[in-house]
Amino acid sequence: MSRFRFGRQHDGYFKVPSDDSGFLDAQFECPPPKIPWKAISLASFLFIVGTVLLIVGSLIVSGYIDTKYSDRLWPIIVLGGIMFLPGAYHIRIAYYAYKEYPGYSFSDIPEFE
């Protein structure tokens, strides 16, 4: 008795046509980007509060705000800078992704769950 069955026509397999590359066009399409609203709102908050703190710090330096608050000058400027920079960076990425500039997408912004 032979273990091979040469006479059987259909054993669950079929021959792949020679013109088939094995790829589908759908696997190369990107899904529509999901907009990270939480991250954009956090970046907006950081940008706005950082801008306000930098303006208040510069007003203390220039003398428009009373000098009795001069002990708060450097913490306000440092905190404003720490909040302004990442906020402005992520707002810029979100704007460029919205305008569909090449090289920018919403996937560049980290998502928060």
Query: What residue segments make up the domains of the chain, in order of their start?
Result: 40-108
Taking a C-beta distance cutoff of 8 angstroms, is the pair 87, 47 a contact? yes
pLDDT tens for residues 33-89? 789 999 999 999 999 999 999 999 998 888 888 777 678 788 999 999 999 999 999
| Burial class of residue 51 (count of CB atoms within 10 Å of its CB; 0-12, 13-18, 19+) | middle
Entry pTM = 0.70
CA angle (75 as vertex; 42, 93 as ends), nearest 5: 30
